């Protein structure tokens, strides 16, 4: 712990040293000892230069203070006299280079390029999730609409890499398949790795603003450069490289903005505020986990505005300006970027594709190549159709031969988000009414049209069962609703098979009335069970494994006219007795499609839960990540291809995890001592310490804890954004204990104790005087000790990286020839 008294002691000792020299001057190597203690090269012409702590040459003032060499005391002829400077040591030269930030940015970027591009195309097969994201990129190039659980920005950038590489989109990226010669996968990997390459200079810029020692800054950057996990994941056609880079940019913007808080509303202040907001928008538009970084900035902003609220010297107008600035930069800008990414998504994917069924029927009808616009306008008895739920994220009415394990035990009725033959139903008349004419019947009159208020039956085409509701049996999950099943046949059933069609309104005809026609796409319908009075409903409730994780369909006895999950529309419509239509459809509103797609993404993401009946060799649990209990094979393990194993650098992962425990203990220790009015750090040093803890520890908590509570399947690569915040904590603790002169001090000076205490011979018992019971002021580590520690840790970091380099660059041939890589029992490398 540094004390102010030590400063005065050093000044007094310097003055006494200067007086002693002045009293007894002596000559040294032909030079004169001046009254200030410096040595001249000649007879009293020019004081000798010495090197300051920063490495710059300076003169020594008579009071022991260093001043620039050009002073008023120097003769005007002094510049003409050559001064012999001591040669710089190798370490001094290296130190000068390491302090040159621009040079080091270039060096680290070049090193990052080398590690990312080395052997990047050695594996000619589709590796891991390239099967997903490469295929999604090809859809953009072919303009085919698709669906995925992630926002579109990352996949748009994947398609941009493919477009710039000359890829035509005609490859399906089947997992493990060889890339054809016409697919420029190496160029695509090179372009996608740029995001991973930029992580290193962004980390260096972040470390610059953390007020760390220069050694901490370089070790932190080296940890980002030499972590095998980050390196491996950013060398392929994946979203993770973009997610990681934008996460790092959020932290960079937050740290740089924090350092400009003393100069609000300046150009630098505005730049870093908007940079942070733009980074939030980008990271959230790549993957939903980007919202975790957003929450970190949100917490910082709340604390900052709360502190400013307590500043009584700040005018109200200035305080409101701070609110408006953050609302603009941290809310409007990210939302605009996020919304714009979906606008581009819809604009580029204007053709029908495999993801149509996730969207509303009206949206699908406007896609190029869609058949929906050609179906008959009005529905009739005997029409075969599909019914789309109009709630956000709604699916298609569906049934299959599997039965409910409880309740009625009859055929399941669900909602399904993909086109399937089991989605087809026929409008049938009642049991007591004459049967509808068959397809081969002749001499029949015009078809009977379905109108609002009509009573009819839903008959499932594939199984011939009728849709029915049960008051006696509750819905499988939503217990205040009735079960809906399929049973009976064309001629026999129950009165609970009867449904009433209610037309709410029509986009072309306006508000619905009794007797209004039921029209394809544009009519909003509700289906009321005639016997029970409940309404057919499909919300976001997901059925268990026995229901194939599809959405629950139930009958809601609560008549809520505003419940959109009881709204339905006809999507597909086939009837050979009706004429096809080419009517002009209304375009679906963008924001309605925007919300609809986001809800569908969340529903599908929540449905990605692990199957208890199947063992997933790739999956891992969040509790296994920090200590790296298991890794993950990223591709096939045969001897004919390079193999990649997703595992991190043990120094980075284990060291950062251990530092999390240390920082919690130290934070608790300091807070307790400060509560007792014991201040181990000056206010400035304490603020820097606390800020680093907040960014690292709170960022880690926000990114890690959600995975502990979410039910979806998880993999080790989900920890990679979280790891960055643990590494910040690691570097912060190393700086605190080793290299920061204000905190990295010996708590007790053993030599001081030996001088003042009494050590009994053979017993090593120290008896302290009363004044020695207080911890001594201590001294920081010497520069040579700090340098040795830095070199040792950097060597350990590089050594582990080099030992495991093959897991990132590819293990060719037989895996057993790569010895010594299984450091943990569950690492399935061999």
Cβ proximity of 397 and 413 under 8 Å? yes
Cβ proximity of 54 and 66 under 8 Å? no
**pLDDT for position 48:** 38
Residues in the chain: 830
E strand or H helix at 308 = helix 290-309
Q: Please state, rounded to an integer, the average pLDDT across all residues of the chain.
A: 87
Q: What is the mean pLDDT of residues 678-685?
A: 92
DSSP 89: P
**Domain-by-domain residue ranges, the chain?**
5-73, 361-439+449-606
Residue 532 burial (10 A CB sphere; 0-12, 13-18, 19+): middle
**pLDDT for position 617:** 84
At 826 the three-state DSSP class reads: coil
Where would I find the H helices in 24-147?
90-98, 101-117, 130-142
pLDDT tens-digit profile of 538-577? Answer: 999 999 989 998 999 999 999 999 999 999 999 999 998 8
Domain 361-439+449-606 has CATH 2.80.10.50: yes
Residues 6+ apart with CB under 8 A from 319: 308, 309, 311
Phi and psi based region of residue 181 (left: phi greater than 0; alpha: psi -120 to 50; beta: remaining): alpha
**pLDDT for position 57:** 37
pLDDT greater than 50 at residue 764: no
User: Which has more pLDDT, 304 or 760?
Assistant: 304
Cβ proximity of 385 and 571 under 8 Å? yes
**pLDDT for position 83:** 63
> Which pLDDT band, with edges at 50, 70 and 90, does 146 fall under?
very high
Rounded to two decimals, the pTM is 0.83
Torsion of CA 167, 189, 724, 715, to 10 degrees: 80
Q: What is the mean pLDDT of residues 107-117?
A: 98
> Which pLDDT band, with edges at 50, 70 and 90, does 439 fall under?
low
Candidates 543, 542, 384; CA nearest to 460 is 384
User: 25-39, 65-79, 132-146, 225-239 — which is least confidently predicted?
Assistant: 25-39
pLDDT tens-digit profile of 465-519? Answer: 999 999 999 999 999 999 999 999 988 999 999 999 999 999 877 888 888 999 9
In the block, tokens 């603003």 appear at: 209
Residues of the chain by 3-state class (helix, strand, coil), percent to 5: 45, 15, 40
The Cα–Cα gap between 254 and 275 comes to 9
Report CA-CA distances (Å) from 429 to 35, 475, 499: 117, 26, 10
The Cα–Cα gap between 218 and 221 comes to 5
In the block, tokens 């004429």 appear at: 579
**pLDDT for position 442:** 59
The Cα–Cα gap between 743 and 738 comes to 8
pLDDT greater than 80 at residue 78: no
Tokens representing residue 364 in the block: 């699908």
Q: Biggest alpha carbon distance in the chain? A: 134
Other CB atoms closer than 10 Å to residue 30's CB: what's the count?
10
pLDDT greater than 90 at residue 695: yes
User: 388-402, 510-524, 611-625 — which is least confidently predicted?
Assistant: 611-625
- Above pLDDT 70, what percent of the chain? 84
In terms of C-beta distances under 8 Å and separation of at least 24 residues, what long-range contacts does 114-118 make, across chains too? 115/225, 115/226, 115/231, 115/808, 116/193, 116/196, 116/197, 116/231, 116/234, 116/235, 117/190, 117/193, 118/809
> Which pLDDT band, with edges at 50, 70 and 90, does 87 fall under?
confident
């Amino acid at each position: 712990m540094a004390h102010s008294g030590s400063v005065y002691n050093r000044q007094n000792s310097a003055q006494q040293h200067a007086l002693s020299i002045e009293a007894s001057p002596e000559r040294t190597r032909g030079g004169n000892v001046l009254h200030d203690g410096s040595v001249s090269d000649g007879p009293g012409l020019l004081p000798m230069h010495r090197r300051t702590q920063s490495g710059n040459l300076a003169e020594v003032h008579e009071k022991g203070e260093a001043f620039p060499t050009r002073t008023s005391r120097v003769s005007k002829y002094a510049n003409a006299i050559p001064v012999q400077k001591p040669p710089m040591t190798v370490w001094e030269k290296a130190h000068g280079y390491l302090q040159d930030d621009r040079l080091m940015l270039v060096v680290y970027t070049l090193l990052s390029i080398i590690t990312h591009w080395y052997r990047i195309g050695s594996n000619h097969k589709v590796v891991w999730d390239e099967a997903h994201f490469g295929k999604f990129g090809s859809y953009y190039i072919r303009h085919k609409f698709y669906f995925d659980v992630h926002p579109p920005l990352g996949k748009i950038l994947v398609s941009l890499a493919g477009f710039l590489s000359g890829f035509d989109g005609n490859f399906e990226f089947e997992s493990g398949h060889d890339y054809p010669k016409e697919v420029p996968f190496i160029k695509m990997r090179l372009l996608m790795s740029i995001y991973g390459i930029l992580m290193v200079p962004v980390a260096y810029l972040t470390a610059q603003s953390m007020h760390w020692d220069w050694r901490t800054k370089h070790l932190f950057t080296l940890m980002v450069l030499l972590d095998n996990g980050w390196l491996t994941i950013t060398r392929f056609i994946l979203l993770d490289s973009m997610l990681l880079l934008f996460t790092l940019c959020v932290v960079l913007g937050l740290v740089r903005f924090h350092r400009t808080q003393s100069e609000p509303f300046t150009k630098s202040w505005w730049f870093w505020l908007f940079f942070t907001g733009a980074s939030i928008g980008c990271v959230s538009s790549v993957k939903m986990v980007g919202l975790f970084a957003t929450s970190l900035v949100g917490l910082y902003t709340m604390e900052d505005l709360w502190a400013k609220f307590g500043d009584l010297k700040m005018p109200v107008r200035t305080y409101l300006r701070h609110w408006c600035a953050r609302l603009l930069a941290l809310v409007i800008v990210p939302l605009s970027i996020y919304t714009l990414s979906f606008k581009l998504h819809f604009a580029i994917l204007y053709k029908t594709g495999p993801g149509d069924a996730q969207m509303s029927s009206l949206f699908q009808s406007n896609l190029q190549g869609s058949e929906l616009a050609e179906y008959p306008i009005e529905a009739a008895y005997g029409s075969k159709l599909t019914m789309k739920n109009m709630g956000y994220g709604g699916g298609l009415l569906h049934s299959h031969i599997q039965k409910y394990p409880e309740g009625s035990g009859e055929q399941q009725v669900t909602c399904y988000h993909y086109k399937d033959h089991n989605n087809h139903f026929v409008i049938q008349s009642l049991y007591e009414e004459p049967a509808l004419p068959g397809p081969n019947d002749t001499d029949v009159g015009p078809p009977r049209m379905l109108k609002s208020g009509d009573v009819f039956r839903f008959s499932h085409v594939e199984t011939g069962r009728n849709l029915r509701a049960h008051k006696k049996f509750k819905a499988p999950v939503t217990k205040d609703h009735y079960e809906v099943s399929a049973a009976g046949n064309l001629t026999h059933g129950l009165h609970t098979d009867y449904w009433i069609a209610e037309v709410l309104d029509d986009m072309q005809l306006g508000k619905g009335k009794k007797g209004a026609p039921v029209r394809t796409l544009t009519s909003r319908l509700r289906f009321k069970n005639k016997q029970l009075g409940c309404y057919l409903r499909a919300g976001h409730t997901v059925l268990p494994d026995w229901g194939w994780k599809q959405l629950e369909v139930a009958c809601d006895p609560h008549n809520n006219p505003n419940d959109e999950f009881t709204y339905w529309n006809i999507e597909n419509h086939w009837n050979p007795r009706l004429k096809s239509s080419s009517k002009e459809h209304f375009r679906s509103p963008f924001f309605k499609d925007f919300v609809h797609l986001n809800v569908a993404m969340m529903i599908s993401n929540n449905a990605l839960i692990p199957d208890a009946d199947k063992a997933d060799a790739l999956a891992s649990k969040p509790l296994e990540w920090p200590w790296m209990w298991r890794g993950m094979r990223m591709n096939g393990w045969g001897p004919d291809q390079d193999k990649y194993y997703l595992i991190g650098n043990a120094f980075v992962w284990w060291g950062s995890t251990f530092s999390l425990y240390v920082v919690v203990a130290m934070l608790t220790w300091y807070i307790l001592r400060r509560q007792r009015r014991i201040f181990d750090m000056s206010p400035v040093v304490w603020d820097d310490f606390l800020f680093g803890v907040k960014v690292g520890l709170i960022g880690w908590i926000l990114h890690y804890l959600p995975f502990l509570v979410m039910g979806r399947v998880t993999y080790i690569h989900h920890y990679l954004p979280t790891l960055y915040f643990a590494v910040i904590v690691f570097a912060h603790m190393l700086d605190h204990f080793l290299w920061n002169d204000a905190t990295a001090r010996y708590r007790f000076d053993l030599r001081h104790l030996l001088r003042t205490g009494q050590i009994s011979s053979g017993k090593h018992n120290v008896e302290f005087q009363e004044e020695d019971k207080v911890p001594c002021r201590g001294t920081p580590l010497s520069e040579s000790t700090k340098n040795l520690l830095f070199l040792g840790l950097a060597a350990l970091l590089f050594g582990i990286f080099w030992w495991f380099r093959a897991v990132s660059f590819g293990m060719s041939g037989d895996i057993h020839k790569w010895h010594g890589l299984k450091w943990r029992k569950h690492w399935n490398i061999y």
